[in-house]
């Protein structure tokens, strides 16, 4: 149990007049507990939950298949187990709420996550309990990271950054995108990642595609290579993207890259508490427009237990940044008009005075080179 997170939750519940909170999604389960139930993200019907009361008591719901995993991680807290083939999980959850004294109470839960039939079953099994949406509240709390979360994201950013840089420095002309993927995953796990998400290996003409995995295409001189990966520990993600050229850059690539580097430093200089997310985006678009490059809808986003979280540094919202936010910033142009795309994604912490670059292993002022 993560005591600092529980304290944030109880303070929020007391301010909102909630008697309890049920965290059901894999992301918010991990937020409170500090670990992931392995099969929960894969099979949504295998419900797991953390129930937190306004006075700070905690209890867990777990499917029988995952009972030992959960009980080994919860420091003696109660774990209520439901049988995957014999029980209705919402009925077991309702009984747990009653046992915690939450019958007839006002309880927040994740209505954006629950299936409609599960929500109906929970309400039917808890006729006196008032369930209200807590999704936005949890999303807001997760925007401001605790010191432990920041250190974890710092570690994840370094793992992803180092893995990409060292892999691209090792491969040679004639290697396949699959060879890059193999080197990347080997380094990722060696450096301590538990998992990864959204590996992008896009070279040559494939570098214009936003989210493509590795293929058997072989590297050729003059190729541009875009490589991105999200390293994962305890459900947290940090995504880094690096761009390299093979032996020598194609025409226009250096000019475009220099513009993206200028975008990076412009954004870093503007990130600080109180800064307008929309003004940062507009400044980025202004720098990008100096080469008449096509705009994108955002330059950055929050990151943590989802690949993308609020706040967005984009055209459709405007929020003031706050110390403790961790952002992915990604100056990019997928289709430069010259047959290649380029991207530079970093992980950044908003500090009390400005921005701290967490993905600082690679020098991105110049294009990486594959020999």
Q: What is the CA radius of gyration of the chain?
A: 23
Count other Cβ atoms within 10 Å, centred on residue 42. 9
Which tokens sit at 231? 């390293």
Residue ranges of E strands in the chain? 20-23, 49-53, 58-63, 78-82, 106-109, 130-133, 195-203, 224-233, 236-246, 298-302, 309-314, 326-329, 332-333, 342-343, 346-350, 355-357, 368-370
Measure the CA–CA gap between 362 and 160, rounded to whole angstroms: 10
- Mark the ranges of the chain whose per-residue pLDDT is less than 70: 1
311: cis peptide before it, omega within 30°?
Answer: yes
Cβ neighbours for 277, distance < 8 A, ≥ 6 positions apart: 311, 312, 313, 314, 317, 318, 319, 320, 321
**Full-model pTM:** 0.96
Measure the CA–CA gap between 137 and 6, rounded to whole angstroms: 14
Half-sphere exposure for 154 (CA within 13 Å, toward CB): 12
Residue 285 is predicted with a pLDDT of 96
CB 160 within 8 Å of CB 229? yes
Look-up of token digits 């047959």: 339
CA dihedral 114, 309, 318, 11 (to 10 degrees): 70
Q: Is 339 left (phi over 0), alpha (psi -120 to 50) or beta?
A: left
Residue 243 is predicted with a pLDDT of 98
Cβ neighbours for 51, distance < 8 A, ≥ 6 positions apart: 20, 21, 22, 23, 58, 59, 60, 61, 93, 96, 97, 100, 102
Looking at the DSSP assignment, which residues form a beta bridge with residue 238? 231
Residue 44 is predicted with a pLDDT of 93
Q: Give the burial class of 102: count Cβ atoms within 10 A of its Cβ; 0-12 exposed, 13-18 middle, 19 or more buried.
A: buried
Residue 181 is predicted with a pLDDT of 98
CB 267 within 8 Å of CB 283? yes
Estimate to the nearest angstrom the gap between the alpha carbon of 253 and the chain centroid: 29
Residue 188 is predicted with a pLDDT of 98
Q: How far is CA 66 from CA 38, 79, 96, 97, 244, in A?
A: 8, 11, 18, 20, 43
| Percent of residues, the chain, with pLDDT higher than 70 | 100
Residue 75 is predicted with a pLDDT of 87
């Amino acid at each position: 149990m993560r005591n600092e997170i529980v304290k944030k939750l109880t303070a929020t519940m007391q301010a909102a007049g909630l008697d309890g909170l049920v965290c059901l999604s894999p992301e918010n389960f991990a937020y409170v507990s500090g670990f992931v139930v392995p099969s929960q993200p894969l099979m949504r019907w295998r419900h797991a939950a953390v129930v937190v009361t306004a006075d700070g008591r905690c209890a867990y719901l777990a499917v029988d298949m995952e009972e030992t995993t959960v009980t080994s991680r919860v420091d003696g807290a109660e774990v209520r187990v439901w049988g995957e083939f014999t029980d209705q999980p919402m009925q077991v959850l309702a009984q747990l709420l009653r046992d915690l004294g939450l019958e007839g109470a006002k309880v927040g839960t994740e209505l954006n996550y629950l299936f409609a039939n599960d929500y109906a079953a929970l309400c039917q099994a808890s006729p006196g309990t008032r369930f209200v949406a807590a999704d936005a509240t949890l999303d807001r709390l997760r925007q401001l990271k605790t010191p432990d979360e920041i250190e974890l994201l710092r570690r994840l950013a370094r793992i992803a950054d180092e893995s990409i840089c060292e892999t691209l420095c090792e491969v040679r002309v004639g290697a396949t995108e699959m060879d890059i993927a193999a080197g990347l995953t080997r380094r990722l796990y060696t450096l301590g990642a538990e998992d990864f998400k959204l590996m992008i290996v896009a070279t040559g003409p494939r570098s214009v595609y936003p989210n493509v995995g590795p293929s058997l295409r072989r590297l050729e001189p003059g190729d541009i290579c875009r490589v991105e990966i999200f390293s994962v520990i305890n459900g947290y993600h940090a995504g880094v993207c690096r761009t390299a050229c093979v032996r020598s850059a194609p025409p226009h690539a250096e000019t475009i890259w220099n513009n993206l580097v200028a975008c990076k430093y412009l954004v870093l200089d503007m990130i600080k508490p109180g800064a307008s997310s929309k003004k940062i985006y507009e400044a980025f678009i202004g720098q990008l427009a100096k080469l008449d490059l096509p705009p994108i809808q955002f330059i950055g986003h929050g990151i943590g237990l989802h690949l993308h979280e609020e706040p967005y540094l984009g055209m459709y919202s405007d929020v003031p940044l706050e110390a403790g936010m961790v952002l992915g910033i990604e100056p990019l142009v997928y289709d430069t008009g010259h047959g290649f795309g380029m991207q530079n994604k970093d992980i950044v912490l908003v500090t009390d005075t400005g921005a701290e670059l967490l993905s600082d292993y690679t020098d991105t002022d110049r294009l990486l080179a594959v020999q």
